[in-house]
Amino acid sequence: MRPIVASDLMTLDVLSVPGNLSLAELAAFLVDHQISGAAVVDEDQRFIGVVSATDVATAAAEGGERIGWGRTRNDFYARGWESKLDREDLSTMRLEEDGLRVRDVMTPTIYSVPMDATASEVATTMLKSHLHRLLVTDGDEIVGIISTSDLLGLLVDERESVAS
């Protein structure tokens, strides 16, 4: 039996947003697409980072002094709510137009795995790097995305197979 690999788990449609998008527009995009994060592209459609609902919520925290990578001193107090954040909460946040753009709050690193990475390697990468999504590559080309939900779906499929 062939092991399950990244290409088996990935979603082919990698949704992306431009780095110059406002946070209010990003929040609307995430809610509209029912996702918690997206890849970020530059003017030439090259992937330059990843942004999430957590980044939006952190930026919206009152009194957050910016300290780099879009993070604020309030992050200490914000930790732990990330998994409880409902995407619908984003639509009710008061994201004042203070000039912040996606590029200001995104994580400017592309975390990826090759298409042939095993499910175990994908999970290990996500756990070690504390990631909720990984891009999947075929050589230098990004061909998909895997989220923690995709990995959880694998566990559900395995349980259903064992139960039958």
Neighbouring-strand partners of residue 142: 137
Q: pLDDT tens-digit profile of 71-91?
A: 444 443 344 444 444 545 544
- 121-125 long-range contacts, Cβ below 8 Å, gap at least 24? 121/6, 122/6, 122/9, 122/146, 122/151, 123/151
How many C-beta atoms lie closer than 10 Å to residue 8's C-beta? 14
Q: Which of 2, 6, 1 is nearest to 125 (CA)?
A: 6
The pLDDT value given to residue 7:
96
Q: pLDDT tens-digit profile of 98-122?
A: 678 999 999 999 899 999 999 999 9
The pLDDT value given to residue 76:
37
CB-based burial, 104-119: b 16+ in 10 Å, e otherwise: bbbbeebebbebebeb
Fold of 6-163: CBS-domain (3.10.580)
Q: Which of 54, 26, 37 is nearest to 147 (CA)?
A: 37
Q: What value does the mean pLDDT of the chain take?
A: 79
The pLDDT value given to residue 14:
92
Pairing of strands 112-114, 71-72: unpaired
* pTM, to two decimals: 0.72
The residue-averaged pLDDT of 119-143 equals 93
- CA 150, CA 17: separation in Å to the nearest integer? 21
* The one-letter amino acid at 23: L
Please give the DSSP secondary-structure letter assigned to residue 106.
S
Determine what percent of the chain is predicted with pLDDT higher than 90. 42
Beta-carbon contacts of residue 140 (< 8 Å; ≥ 6 apart)? none
Domain limits, the chain: 6-163
